[in-house]
């Protein structure tokens, strides 16, 4: 039974997250419905479930079917059926046992902040507008506390029976004109983890927290210790890396 990999991109604004939910519009819901119209019901696996309002530049989906698929034709058919917010970028057959979730080595996210006095209506769905000037040096020091393997219970929405221990590989804060961007790569993430990182770093950049507070917040293993999370619309699942890539 051949296994296939889909690379997809989506604007998450009008979706209630990636994962399929009954009677609620989700990315998986519209993708699985389109696949079912072409080849019948298919069980799909995803590299990482994004929250409501979060976007994806590269999301990876895998599925196994009983017979071979003409991949170019499938891409064309899916893009003809899917809503305009979702696009299939590529499809290819992969080795037996491949899983978009379990075969991934790392995932990378980016979060953009519009950091200037005036908002920009044209970027309102993809950036978080913060008018106060942010201290990027302090924010980078704060983010450094996240690198390595930690229990991120203070930064995650807990799921029953699931560990909140994660390994963060890289973090950075950069500025390009009026855009401040957070980049983070980890082996995997738990729910709301990246948005909580951003929220904490922004509080440091505003001078409301000290960069040195991050270690204590992580050690608390208490969601209340980290406060709120950044809004979802500035977050993009940027990249998923697999062996031999």
Among the residues of 90-222, which ranges form H helices? 136-144, 193-205, 213-220
- Active site residues per annotation: 51
Q: Is 244 left (phi over 0), alpha (psi -120 to 50) or beta?
A: left
The shares of helix, strand and coil residues in the chain, as percent rounded to the nearest 5, are: 25, 30, 40
- From first to last of its 245 residues, the chain has per-residue pLDDT tens of 899 999 999 999 999 999 999 999 999 999 999 999 999 999 999 999 999 999 999 999 999 998 899 999 999 999 999 999 999 999 999 999 999 999 999 999 999 999 999 999 999 999 999 999 999 999 999 999 999 999 999 999 877 778 999 999 999 999 999 999 999 999 999 999 999 999 999 999 999 999 999 999 999 999 888 888 999 999 999 999 999 87
What are the tens digits of pLDDT across the range 10-45? 999 999 999 999 999 999 999 999 999 999 999 999
- What is the β-pairing status of strands 106-114 and 128-129? parallel
Residues 245, 240: Cα–Cα separation, whole Å: 10
What are the tens digits of pLDDT across the range 170-186? 999 999 999 999 999 99
Q: State the chain's mean pLDDT as an integer.
A: 96
Residues 170, 158: Cα–Cα separation, whole Å: 23
Among the residues of the chain, which ranges form H helices? 27-39, 71-81, 136-144, 193-205, 213-220, 223-226
Domains of the chain: 3-94 (3.30.70.580), 106-241 (3.30.70.660)
Q: What is the pTM of this model?
A: 0.95
Three-state SS at 46: strand
């Amino acid at each position: 039974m051949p296994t296939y990999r889909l690379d997809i991109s989506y604007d998450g604004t009008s979706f209630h997250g990636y994962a399929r939910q009954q009677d609620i519009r989700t990315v998986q819901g519209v993708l699985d419905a389109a696949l079912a119209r072409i080849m019948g019901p298919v069980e799909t696996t995803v590299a990482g479930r994004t929250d409501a309002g979060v976007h994806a530049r590269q999301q990876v989906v895998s599925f196994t079917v009983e017979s071979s698929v003409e991949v170019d034709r499938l891409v064309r058919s899916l893009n003809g059926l899917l809503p305009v917010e979702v696009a299939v970028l590529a499809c290819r057959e992969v080795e037996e046992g491949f899983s978009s979730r379990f075969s991934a080595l790392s995932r990378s996210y980016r979060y953009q902040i519009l950091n200037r006095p005036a908002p920009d209506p044209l970027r309102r769905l993809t950036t978080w507008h913060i008018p106060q000037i942010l201290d990027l040096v302090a924010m980078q020091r704060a983010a450094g506390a996240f690198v390595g393997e930690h229990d991120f219970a203070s930064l995650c929405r807990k799921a029953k029976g699931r560990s909140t221990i994660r390994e963060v590989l890289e973090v950075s804060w950069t500025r390009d004109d009026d855009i401040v961007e957070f980049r983070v790569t980890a082996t995997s993430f738990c729910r709301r983890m990246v948005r909580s990182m951003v929220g904490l770093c922004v509080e440091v950049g505003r001078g409301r927290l000290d960069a040195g507070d991050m270690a204590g917040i992580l050690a608390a293993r208490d969601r209340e210790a980290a406060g709120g999370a950044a809004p979802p619309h500035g977050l993009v699942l940027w990249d998923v890396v697999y062996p031999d890539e």
